[in-house]
Chains A and B, each alone.
Chain A
Amino acid sequence: MFPYLEVLVFLPAIAGVLLFFFPSEFPARYYRRLGLSLSLAELVVAVVMLLKFKTGVAGYQMTSSYRWIPSFGISWSLGVDGISLFLVILSVVLFPIAIFGSKETRDPKSFIAWMLVLEAACVGSFLVTDLFDFFLMFELTLIPTYFLMANWGFSLGGRAAVKFFVYTFLGSAFLLVGILALVFIHEASTGQLTFSISALAHTQMSSTAGRLLFLAFSVAFLIKAPVFPFHTWSPDAYSQSPISTAIVLGGVMAKLGTYGILRFDFQLFPQASRSLGWLILTLAVVGIGYGAITAAGESHLSRLVAYSSLSHMGFIVLGLFAFTTIGLSGAVLQMFNHGIYTAALFLLLGMIYSRRNTLDTSKLAGLQSKAPVMAGIFTVVMLASIGVPGLNGFIGEFMILLGAFVSHRWWAVVGVSGVILSAIYMLWAYQKVFHRKDPEQRGFKDLSVAEVATLVPLVILIVGVGLFPSLLLNRINPSVHKVLSEATPASSYQSSLGKVGR
């Protein structure tokens, strides 16, 4: 069988590394075209992989494993299941769009190279099935992001990059300690040294140890998502990154955090995930409200999207810790959805910035009369993010809240407030930027054909997933069900089903 997953990881990785050794005297557009073709090739491979993916299978598919460092029990293992499938698709969709939409002219070769390395790291994080490999990939995302932010970012990009790096690196330190501790505990009890997730999932340990390890893992993931109160790196990072990087940060990398929770917290520490669920749930719903309120007080559009993301990632975490199939499936779907509309928002912000050199809502006005096409697309994306049914954001949000309501009623009730608040900050910002009359005499060009072409795939996904989400859910549900039933003691699982039954 064609090694789809290997190609997905190594194609951008090798291409990116080789690109560094390329001569740099060609015009910028060559590098952009090269990067775009490579990321499109990656997309094609991923789409074929999606078509080969068997619906209805819960476990990993297309698996492969090579013994890498046998003495440490480390192997290079890949596999894809319903949980990682659409996160891979999300990555390979957003990278070509980010590259195509990028306007970076300085040192384009390195820019493209870093983007490709980052793509490999992101895709790799979702596809590896060995804990050590995951840590490696998870860490590997930091370095390209750091350089992209510092070298191609806005004026404060360097500062934001350091903040981002130190912050997430701190989280990674916890994760590393957690991983090593888990592996040693497992070795002590079984005499077998391994990093394989499926083996580690059955580690015997005291409940205190389980809780501590759960917290160590979670800190890394909560920072990455980010979840309140570990979020303060994100407004700086989102607003100072070049648009292409912001798309990847908000669209793809945020999902590493929630993916990590689902894949590692739930599978490795099922008991602790349940007993400490209330803590994370509380952070999630506080974040939903807090992010939305802070977004309402924000006048810089990129920072506003960062706070809005904080709120929306809170929804996803709420769905995860609901511990119901509905909530979990909704959360996985919402990871995809959030990536799509966040990327579209950042692209639109980039297009506004390129015309007016500002993203300050107090300096923008009346764009709708000057650029109706842009306003129309912005409106669709905005409504998707608000969660208007018919568009993709609604399905995930509804399933998350419903799934949470069934098992954790009061957290869901607080979460519903986010539905009201998201309308407030989004429509308010829209009114300031697009409505009214523009006092400036300057023109404002509507979207060019190329710009529309960048946005159209995302708009199609927004509407398509909003109307036909079961195409995704059919593939997501079996895996989610499997994770949930493995993470649930048989007796309580039955009773939680009973409560929902008619």
Chain B
Amino acid sequence: MLSLLPYVVGLPLGGFIVLLFFGRRLGRPGAGVIGSLTVGAAFVLSVFVYIGLLSRPSGTRVYVDRLYTWFAAGSLHVNVSLYLDPLSMTMVLFVTGVAFLIHVYSIGYMSHDDRFHQFFVYLNLFVFSMLVLVVGGSIPLTFLGWEGVGTCSYFLIAFWFERPSAASAGKKAFIINRIGDAGFLLGAFMVYKYFGSLSYSHILSHTAGTSHEVATWISLLFFVAAVGKSAQIPLFVWLVDAMEGPTPVSALIHAATMVTAGVFLMARLNPFLALSKTTSMIVAVVGVATALLGATAATSQSDIKKVLAYSTVSQLGFMFLGIGTGAYVAAIFLMVTHAFYKALLFLGAGSVIHGMHDEQDLKKMGALRRFMPVTSVTFVVGWLSIAGVPPFSGFWSKGDVLDAAYVKSPFLWVVAIVAALLTAYYMGRETYLTFYGPSRWSTDEREEHKPHESPKVMTIPLVVLAALAVLGGALNLPFGVKLEFLSKWLAPVFAVSPPPPHVSTSLELILGAVDTLVALGGVGLATSLWRSRWVQPSLEPRVLQKAYYIDSIYDKAFAVSGTKLALETNDVVDRKVIDGAVRAVTAIVAGVGVYARKLQSGYVRSYALAVSLGVVVLLGYMLTRASG
């Protein structure tokens, strides 16, 4: 059954090709149905692959499928090969599963769009790229997926490219990610230089004995890549602008899957992290700082999607905190549950935007629970999950990360707990502003202008995701070894790394209680502050609305001055200095100087021809004389 793996990857690619050439003819909903079916079939096949992998004994769950030689020269040999282990299997399952739900949802969400089929072309290409990213057997192949998802992200953020803001946001995302990609490439070069190979099956089994310095460089360079892709400090600014894309894109790419690729990459390369305390520390600190930055900024946004964008930045920070503290399983656990509840929240937001005729301003919503019952109930489920209220999934996954942080360093834990408190609070604020309180939308009584619940094709995915958000915690319950499925399943992947920080049962209980209190505190705070009010400027300071002005500073420092630099280089340095020097030299050498301009252009041409013919004649003369 493992041999089905290439088909799992190939199905979305097939869907992409079919849609690319026949999408327009398939129309709507045909194109969307094809897109969803291929991804759904990929999910079904991946379940079979999972069964195949599961049937092997725990230590031998690695399956490598070499398809062909991609490129080779000298001692370099790069295959197109697939590398399946419990980590990539986990990714494949949740990526195809969540992607299928979002595909189905999109059939409804995009139903009025002129480029309906085009949307699914990009979406299928994205799923293919994401699968290559997670099952690629070598670093260059991972990079293919890595760049592929980035490119699709660019296409989809700029999907409504007639809007200048959308076009700019797409470009910005691509360029900022390229900064990370430079780190990826240099990391790959380092790996090749010291390991003589780029394939995981070789590298991961040869890390023993790597010096601290080399391990630090390699892991840091890949972390630069992860910082770009997963929107961490200092490269997080693109993710907020990425909300210009259609909301299903935000759910799939900018919440559930692509942005978690950085976390996946770190987990994949955990043997290097394990060898470098320096990088681990940096990852943990960047993670927790981003968690706090995202959470504070999320408290003051008034765009329904921007709250979720900053929330994603923050949640990704939690995942890196887990990676940095050596709690890899916790990070992956959080990644999976986050995919459930954040996809749910984004799709819920999309449902609201759809029902409100493209309104995204929280201050112009309110009281929508009466009009959108399914959306509002599932949204509340998403809120309680991300807040970490037991027994929702976020409680278990975020709890594991927080426990590890506590053991590693109380300082990290305190910052993370504050961020957790804010998480429960800002999501509550968003929930109340959207669904409760007085209605602040125009009370136009015409029926078609009233908010409405979304069609079933959109609400059913919401319900499924809500169920997963509630039950997702069951993947890894901390009640004895038997219930820690994910830990057992992923153990071989992290075998080289030291075991995650140990938490005694009594401490675990205390920390769990603290988490619960913090979550409930945040929920309570939001309820008391936002249940019936909707304007509180003191709670939404401008500095948080602008996320500490970091994006504005970048804009001034890099975009504006960079543009100036480019224009000056072109205008002054190239045309005047370098070309000027060339012209001066030519003028002197040719000795024509002032006269050059007076020459008729025809005359110049004959001159040039004469020179060239002269050379030929001269050479010919030399030759004939010599041979004669």
Contacts and interface: CB of A to CB of B under 8 A. Distances in A.
Interface stretch (A97-105, A158-166, A260-268): A158-166
Closest A-B pairs by Cβ, 7 of them: A325-B74, A297-B570, A297-B566, A502-B196, A435-B167, A296-B566, A329-B73
B569 A290 contact: yes
Nearest to A230: B582
Interface residues of A, number: 84
Contacts of B565: 293, 297
Given A162-B605, A389-B143, A477-B72, A298 B570 contact: yes
Interface of A: 69-72, 74, 136, 139, 142-143, 146, 150, 158-159, 161-162, 165-167, 169-170, 176, 229, 232, 235, 290, 293-298, 307, 324-326, 329-330, 366, 368-369, 372, 383, 388-390, 394-395, 398-399, 401-403, 405-406, 412-413, 416-417, 419-420, 423-425, 427-428, 431, 434-437, 467-470, 473, 476-477, 480-481, 497, 499-502
A159 B569 contact: no
Interface stretch (B95-103, B171-179, B366-374): B171-179
B577 to A, nearest CB: 9
B278 interface: no
A20 B82 CA distance: 58
A119 B590 CA distance: 31
Contacts, number: 195
6 contacts: A232-B579, A296-B566, A369-B162, A412-B189, A431-B168, A436-B162
B582 A232 contact: yes
Given A169-B612, A435-B158, A469 B193 contact: no
Interface of B: 68-76, 118, 140, 143-144, 147-148, 151, 154, 158, 161-162, 164, 167-168, 171, 174-175, 178-179, 181-182, 185-186, 188-189, 192-193, 195-197, 206, 562-563, 565-571, 573-574, 578-579, 582, 586, 589-590, 601, 604-605, 608-609, 611-612, 615-616, 619, 623, 626-627
Nearest to A406: B193
B574 A294 contact: yes
B612 A297 contact: no
A162 B193 CA distance: 47
Given A169-B612, A297-B571, 18 more contacts: A150-B605, A166-B590, A170-B589, A293-B569, A294-B566, A296-B566, A296-B570, A297-B566, A307-B570, A326-B74, A326-B76, A330-B73, A368-B161, A388-B151, A389-B147, A403-B74, A419-B182, A435-B164
Given A297-B571, A326-B74, A368-B161, A402 B69 contact: no
A162 B604 CA distance: 7
A467 B590 CA distance: 50
Contacts of B69: 470
B607 to A, nearest CB: 8
A2 B419 CA distance: 77
Contacts of A307: 570
A401 to B, nearest CB: 6
Given A326-B74, A477-B72, A500-B75, A435 B161 contact: yes
Contacts of A394: 144, 147
Interface of A is mostly: helix
A416 B164 contact: no
B185 A427 contact: no
Nearest to A502: B196
A72 B182 CA distance: 52
A413 B221 CA distance: 12
A383 B174 CA distance: 11
A308 B168 CA distance: 21
Given A162-B608, A165-B608, A297-B568, A431 B171 contact: yes
A83 B12 CA distance: 38
B604 A470 contact: no
A71 B624 CA distance: 10
Given A169-B612, A383-B151, A436-B162, A424 B71 contact: no
Given A169-B612, A436-B162, A158 B171 contact: no
A498 B582 CA distance: 44
Nearest to B619: A136
Contacts of B175: 420, 423-424, 427
